[in-house]
Amino acid sequence: MRFSDRYPIIVTPHKNACRDFWVHHFDLQVGFDSDWFVWLTAADGSLSMAFMTPDHPSAPPGPEAFSGTGMCFELQVEDAEAEHAAFLAAGGHVAYPLADEAFGQRRFGFADPSGLWVDVVQQIDPAAGYWDRYMQGQ
């Protein structure tokens, strides 16, 4: 199977607030917007995502409104510290402060208006030996 795009659709009554949040904080562009659906994309095509209201007239069976649990949306960046500073400067609220994790990530986290947990991560070197106890078959 060859994909021309891939993106999550988060079902939420807060479609417009989510659109505005992602446009404001991450400079995503609106590719399509209607009363019940918005598709957002990064200018370079590195990220696409969509938000859909629960009353979407052509919704496929099954997607109830997102409850805010059970999903972590990872955004891998080159410089988490710079992204953290920019997010705060733009009025963003960080729920998990910038930290260097022993497993090899510099990250911070927050929830968007739908309740989606977002982890902004930069890959860094893990602490020496950290992964040794977790590796299988070695």
Kindly report, residue by residue over 11-35, the tens digit of the pLDDT.
999 999 999 999 999 999 999 999 9
Q: Is 107 domain-assigned?
A: yes
Confidence label for 44 from pLDDT (cuts 50, 70 and 90): very high
Please tell me the total count of domains within the chain: 1
Residue whose token pair is 């992602």 = 22
Confidence label for 137 from pLDDT (cuts 50, 70 and 90): low
Which amino acid, one-letter code, is at 54? P
Q: Is 117 domain-assigned?
A: yes
Q: Is 1 domain-assigned?
A: no
Which amino acid, one-letter code, is at 16? N
3-class SS at 137?
A: coil
Task: Report the distance separating Cα 122 and Cα 67, nearest Å.
Answer: 27
Distant-in-sequence, close-in-space partners of 12: CB < 8 Å, separation ≥ 6: 18, 51, 52, 53, 54, 65, 66, 113, 114, 115
Is 104 within 8 Å of 134 (Cβ atoms)? no
Q: Is 110 domain-assigned?
A: yes
pLDDT mean over 105-130: 95
**CATH code, domain with 22:** 3.10.180.10
Range of the domain at 38: 9-54+66-132
Confidence label for 138 from pLDDT (cuts 50, 70 and 90): low
pLDDT at 6: 84
| Reported pTM | 0.87
For 40-66, letters b (16+ CB in 10 Å) and e give: bbeeeeeeebbbbbeebeebeeeeebb
3-class SS at 54?
A: coil
Q: Give the model confidence (pLDDT) of 61-110 as tens digits.
A: 766 888 888 899 999 999 999 999 999 999 999 999 999 999 999 999 99
Q: Which helix (H) or strand (E) holds 109?
A: strand 105-111
